[in-house]
Chain A
Amino acid sequence: DAKTTQPPSMDCAEGRAANLPCNHSTISGNEYVYWYRQIHSQGPQYIIHGLKNNETNEMASLIITEDRKSSTLILPHATLRDTAVYYCIVRVNSGGSNYKLTFGKGTLLTVNP
């Protein structure tokens, strides 16, 4: 019952920006957008999250549309080590039954040399 839609796979050239889209058209006003990634054989790793403003950290940037129905994760200079499955998740931050993280199928990003 994931609330997000992502393309199953994408390719990106090393050194170029990777732009990963996510649709969350049923997002509620109090739900945040979270991004995680899972590199092969490892546990998922948190990347970034936001509510309505664009966010940037040392790993990536998150662009959320004004209507909050979609977002894009941007890896500005993709490296081979960024090859992973990227998950977009929506959830509230205030606890309760909606606090759990529900993972969809994600996007397999392959960074090519």
Chain B
Amino acid sequence: GAGVSQSPSNKVTEKGKDVELRCDPISGHTALYWYRQRLGQGLEFLIYFQGNSAPDKSGLPSDRFSAERTGESVSTLTIQRTQQEDSAVYLCASSTIGTVNTEAFFGQGTRLTVV
């Protein structure tokens, strides 16, 4: 596909369960970002991958959150032992790195509801 693809688009899970969210970035995009957006709130940075460099995990809210990315391909965000406050839309974006055409393209997000 031409854009950033996220799956699933919606996920309802029970409190305490683990969930895994997937992001397929645009081919060739070295940088990949995850954000969380609670209802009516702004985008909260979670983690940023840049090629083979160590990811910037400074935005992960707790050790229940983790993310992986293999090379410049798909990324997965895992939330363990989900809590109700984890309910939000999780957005993924990708971009190139350089001096031109560096805009980030966002997926449509995964809406996570913890019940």
- Interface residues of chain A, those whose CB is within 8 Å of chain B, are 34, 36, 38, 42-46, 49, 85, 87, 93-97, 99-106
B residues contacting the other copy or chain, number (CB 8 A): 24
Task: Tell me whether B50 and A43 are in contact (CB under 8 A).
Answer: no
Instruction: Give the chain B neighbours of A44 by CB distance below 8 A.
Output: 43, 91, 93, 104, 106
Task: Tell me whether A103 and B35 are in contact (CB under 8 A).
Answer: yes
- In the complex, B97 has a CB within 8 A of chain A: yes
Known: A44-B91, A99-B48, A99-B97. Contact between A34 and B33, CB under 8 A?
no
Task: Tell me whether B45 and A102 are in contact (CB under 8 A).
Answer: yes
Instruction: Give the chain A neighbours of B106 by CB distance below 8 A.
Output: 43-45
- Interface residues of chain B, those whose CB is within 8 Å of chain A, are 4, 31, 33, 35, 42-43, 45, 48, 50-51, 56, 91, 93, 97-99, 102-109
Task: Tell me whether A46 and B99 are in contact (CB under 8 A).
Answer: no
- Besides A46-B105, A95-B51, 12 more A-B contacts (Cβ < 8 Å) are A38-B43, A43-B91, A43-B93, A43-B106, A43-B109, A93-B98, A93-B99, A94-B98, A94-B99, A97-B56, A99-B31, A104-B42
